[in-house]
């Protein structure tokens, strides 16, 4: 009698896990699809022949003593952005990426997906890049909604990553049990 009740309890748990697994998958399918596609693309970004992420071009000197001051380089990057892409683009910076070993400084702008690579020593333009990988990353982690809706502290990204992380944890636990539960039931 106790064995039958134990088996019924295991079967009920298995049914409950199957429901949780199915409903979580159905509700979050689109988000899982987006995360998987963007994750694959981000994993391949350095091997995309410049489509997703431009290669870092080499400057003339890796000796920082020979480099122009950052404020001069910044002015040149802004000039090249307006000259090469569009004079109407915002000049607000997201970050400055100094690649000493390559002699290069990358200026990544905040309100659009453009970057400028300059030679650190001469200030010469090395490359103008559309930063598709940054766009994909923002889709991947949900921060694109913070970007377009103007939220201040990444609240949407935090909620999104929490929900998706918990959903993945639920999928892992319920998926394992959906695999292991029937094996366990057969043994008893």
Query: Residue 142 gets which letter from DSSP?
Result: S
Q: Inform me whether the pLDDT recorded for 52 exceeds 70.
A: yes
The full length of the chain comes to 188
**Residues near 156 by Cβ (< 8 Å), separated by ≥ 6?**
142, 143, 145, 146, 149
- Residues 120-147: tens digit of each pLDDT: 999 999 999 999 999 999 999 999 999 8
Q: Which secondary-structure segment (H or E) carries 45? A: none
| pLDDT of amino acid 125 | 98
User: Rounded CA gap, 79 and 113, in Å?
Assistant: 16
Q: Inform me whether the pLDDT recorded for 38 exceeds 80.
A: yes
The band of 188, judged by pLDDT with boundaries at 50, 70 and 90, is low
Is the full-model pTM beyond 0.85?
A: no
Angle between helices 132-141 and 155-187 (to 10 degrees): 60
Q: Inform me whether the pLDDT recorded for 22 exceeds 90.
A: no
């Amino acid at each position: 009698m106790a064995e039958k009740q134990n088996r019924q309890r295991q079967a009920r748990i298995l049914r409950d896990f199957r429901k949780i697994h199915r409903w979580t998958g159905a509700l979050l399918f689109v988000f899982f699809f987006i995360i998987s596609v963007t994750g694959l693309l981000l994993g391949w970004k350095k091997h995309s022949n410049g489509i997703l992420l431009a290669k870092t071009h080499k400057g003339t000197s890796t000796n920082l003593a020979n480099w122009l001051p950052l404020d001069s380089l910044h002015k040149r990057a802004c000039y090249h952005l307006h000259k090469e892409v569009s004079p109407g683009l915002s000049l607000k910076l997201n970050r400055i990426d100094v690649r000493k070993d390559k002699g290069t400084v990358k200026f990544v702008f905040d309100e659009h997906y453009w970057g400028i690579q300059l030679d650190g020593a001469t200030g010469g333009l090395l490359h103008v890049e559309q930063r598709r990988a940054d766009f994909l990353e923002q889709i991947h982690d949900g921060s694109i909604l913070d970007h377009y809706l103007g939220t201040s502290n990444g609240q949407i990204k935090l909620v999104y990553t929490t929900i998706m992380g918990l959903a993945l944890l639920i999928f892992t636990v319920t998926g394992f049990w959906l695999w292991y539960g029937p094996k366990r039931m057969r043994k008893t």
